[in-house]
Chain A
Amino acid sequence: MAPRAPKADMSTRTLISPARLARPRGRLVYWTCFALVVVLFTLAFLGPLYWMASSGLKTTQEAVQTPPTWVPGSLHPENYGRAWEVMDLAKLLFNTAYYAFGALAFQLVLDVAAAYSLSRLRPVLGKAILGMMLATLMIPATVLVVPQYLTVLDVPIVERNLLNSPWAIWLPSVTNAFSIFLLKRFFDSIPKELLDAAAMDGAGPVRTLWSIVLPVSRPILGVVSIFAVVGVWKDFLWPMLTLPDPGAQTLNVGIYSLATSVPENVLIAALTIASLPTLLLFLLFQRTIMGGLTAGGLKG
C-alpha cells in the first residue's frame, strides 16, 4: 500500500527528452500530436456517448434510417419520458441501488470486521481462514456460478430459497476476498503504538476498531466501497439468474429483457438514462476510483 505515485509534472522525465521538446520544432510536433490525440480520444470515448444521447432524441424513423443522421433532424426529449415509463426505469434504478448499497453495507460490516480480526486480533486458525478466503480468488468466478446458483435455490442447513430475494445479491457479495485482502493489508500497516495506546486506555476491540482503525482507514474504505457498489451495479449474469422476477430485476437485466419490445429510439434513450448514475458517481469520485485501481493492487 505505497502512497499514490505522484502525478507526472513538468519535471518528470519520460520517453522524449525535455531538451527536444523545448526546441521550436519539438514544440510544434508536441502540440500537433497533443491536438490530434485529444481529438481522437474525444471521438473514440465521448463519440459513442454523444451518439447514444443524441439518438435518444430522434424519432423512431430517424433512429433507424439509412444513412444515419449525425445531428437529430428534430428533437424529441419525450423519448426519455417514454423510456422511463415503458421500461419502468424508476423501479429498475431503485432495485439496483437497493442491491448495491445493501451489498456495500454487508461488505463494510462483515469484511471490515473479518479483516480487522485477521490483521489485529489474530485468532487461532486465522491464517488458515485467510488462506482459504484467498484461495477463492484462484477459482474462475464463472465456474462457480452454477453451484452458487444451486446453493441459492436451496441454501443448506437453513433450507431457504433465496431466488428473487435481495439476499441472493447481498450475502454472496461478502465473499470478496480481494476486499478483505486490501483491508487487511491496510490494517497491518497501522502503527502498533497507536493501537497499544488505545488498549492502555482500556478500549476493547470494537472501540479500537471504531475510533482508531476506521478513521485512519478512510482511503481504503473509500476504494473498497466504490468497487463494491460498482461491482453490483455492473453485474449481469448473477442478477439475471437469481432475480428473474420482473419486479426484482436490476437495471442491466431489466433493460436487456425489454430491449426487443420497444422502438430503437426509446431503447437508446433508456440506455442513456441507465448510464447516468455511474457516470455521475465517476465524476464525483474520480480520484478515489482511479487512485484505487493502482493503490489497491491490480484489479482492472
Chain B
Amino acid sequence: MSAPALAKEPAVGAARPPHAVEPGPRPGGFRRELRRNLTAHGFLIGAVLCFSFFSWYPMVREFLLAFQKTEDGRTTWVGLDNLVKIVNDPAFGQAWLNTLWFTLLALVLGFAVPFVLALVINEFRHGQGYLRLLVYLPVMLPPVASVLLFRYLYDPGYGLFNEVLGVFGVPAQPWLQDPDTAMLSVVVAATWMNMGGATLIYLAALQDIPGELYEAAELDGAGLLRKVWHVTIPQTRLVLSLMLLMQVIATMQVFTEPFLLTGGAGPEGSTTTVVYLIYQYAFNFNDYGAAAALGLLLLVLLAGFSAAYTRLSRDQDADA
C-alpha cells in the first residue's frame, strides 16, 4: 500500500520551498535533510490525502454550504438566508428541546448509572471479570440488533417489558408510542447499549485510588457515603469530567437510536433531534444549505465542550 504513497513523494517535495529545509551541520547536510524530508512526507502522504479529501475539505465545505444555495445546478451566495430559514422552521425549537432533553436524561442515566455500577463491581473480590464482561457485552452488538431488539421488548402488546412490569403490578406502558415516554424509552435503550465503555473506564480509575485514603477517612469516622463523596469522587474527578464532556458531545449528536426506534421523528415529533433534522434537510428535502447551517449551529454549540475536553485530556496526559 505504500507504493502509491511513495510515488507521490517528489510532488510534495517540489511543492515545498527549498528554504524551508534547514541545512544540516555536516557537508552535504542539505541533500541529506531533503532526502529525510522526502521520505518522511512519503510516509505521510497517504493519510494526508485521505484527510484532505474526506476531512479537511468537507470541513471547509460545511462552512461554505451554510451560506450557499444550489438550485438547478447553480450555486449562489445567500448570506444568512439558510440560517433564517432553519430558525423559522417550526421543528427547530422542538428539535433543540428534544435534543437537550435527551442529553439531560442521558446524563442522569448514562452518567450516574455506569459510575454506580463501577463502584459496585469494584467492591467485589470475586467475579469481577464476569461482571465487566456482561456490562461491555451490549457495546459489541451491531446497533441494528440491539435497537430492533429493544423495539420488540418495548412493544405495548407482546413486549417483554410490560410483561415484567405486570408481574410487579405496574400497568402497561405505551413506551415508544406515547410522546411523553418516547424519548425516555430511547434513552433507556441508548444507555443499555453504550454504558459499558464508561463503566470500564470508571472501574480503571477506581482501581488507581490509593487505599490509604479510605483508611484515613475511616479514622476520621467517615461512613460509606462520605467516603464516596470525600475520597472517591475527588480522586476520579478528572476522569468524571472528561466523561461528562464526552457524553454531552456524543448525546447532543444522537441519531441512530431514535432513527431506528421511532423512525426518527417519533409520536408528535417527540424524538426529533437536531441531527435528525439535519438528516431530513439534506436527504429528504435535498436542502444542503439548511442542513449545513443547522450543522454549523451544532458545531458552534459543541465547540466549547470540545475545547474543554481537549484541555482536560492534556492535563490528564500530563498527570500520567
Interface residues of chain A, those whose CB is within 8 Å of chain B, are 1-2, 5-10, 12-17, 33-34, 37-38, 41-42, 44-46, 48-49, 51-52, 55, 63-68, 105-106, 109-111, 113-114, 116-118, 121-126, 129, 132-133, 136-151, 155-156, 171-172, 174-175, 180, 204-206, 230, 233-234, 236-237, 241, 251-253, 255-256, 259, 264, 267-268, 271-272, 274-275, 278-279, 281-282, 286, 289-290, 293-294, 297-300
Contacts and interface: CB of A to CB of B under 8 A. Distances in A.
Interface in B233-289: 239, 242-243, 246, 249, 252-253, 255-256, 259-260, 275, 278-279, 282-283, 288
Contacts of B232: 15
29 contacts: A1-B320, A8-B122, A13-B212, A15-B232, A48-B138, A48-B149, A110-B5, A114-B44, A124-B16, A133-B51, A137-B306, A137-B310, A143-B253, A143-B295, A146-B288, A148-B55, A150-B61, A151-B58, A172-B55, A175-B47, A175-B51, A255-B148, A268-B152, A278-B142, A279-B137, A282-B140, A293-B201, A294-B204, A298-B239
Contacts of A114: 43-44, 46-48
Nearest to B294: A143
B55 A65 contact: no
A116 B50 CA distance: 17
Question: Of residues B54, B122, B207, B313, which shows the largest number of chain A Cβ atoms within 10 Å of its Cβ?
Answer: B54
A38 B131 contact: yes
Interface of B: 1-2, 5, 16, 20-22, 36-37, 39-41, 43-44, 46-48, 50-51, 53-59, 61-62, 65, 119-128, 130-138, 140-146, 148-150, 152-153, 157-160, 163, 166, 192, 194, 196-198, 200-201, 204, 206-208, 210-212, 214-215, 218, 224, 227-228, 232, 239, 242-243, 246, 249, 252-253, 255-256, 259-260, 275, 278-279, 282-283, 288, 291-292, 295-296, 298-299, 302-303, 306-307, 310, 313, 316, 320
A66 B157 contact: yes
A113 B44 contact: yes
Contact of B39 (A5, A16, A121, A133): A121
A contact face: mostly helix, strand, loop, or mixed: helix
Contacts of A204: 39
B47 A174 contact: yes
A12 to B, nearest CB: 7
Nearest to A168: B54
B206 to A, nearest CB: 7
B141 A275 contact: yes
A68 B158 contact: yes
A68 B159 contact: yes
B51 A271 contact: no
A42 B299 CA distance: 39
Contacts of B296: 143
A274 B1 contact: no
B43 A113 contact: yes
Contact of B207 (A2, A5, A118, A180): A5
Contact of B141 (A113, A136, A138, A279): A279
B53 A34 contact: no
B123 A15 contact: yes
- Nearest first, the 10 closest Cβ-Cβ pairs linking A and B are A13-B211, A300-B197, A123-B40, A121-B40, A117-B43, A114-B47, A147-B58, A109-B1, A174-B50, A110-B46
Nearest to A271: B145
A282 B163 CA distance: 31
B163 A68 contact: yes
A205 B35 CA distance: 12
A139 B45 CA distance: 22
A67 B126 contact: no
B40 A252 contact: no
Nearest to B117: A41
Nearest to A209: B43
B158 A65 contact: yes
Contacts of A14: 122-123, 206, 211, 214
A258 to B, nearest CB: 11
Contacts of A51: 149, 152-153, 160
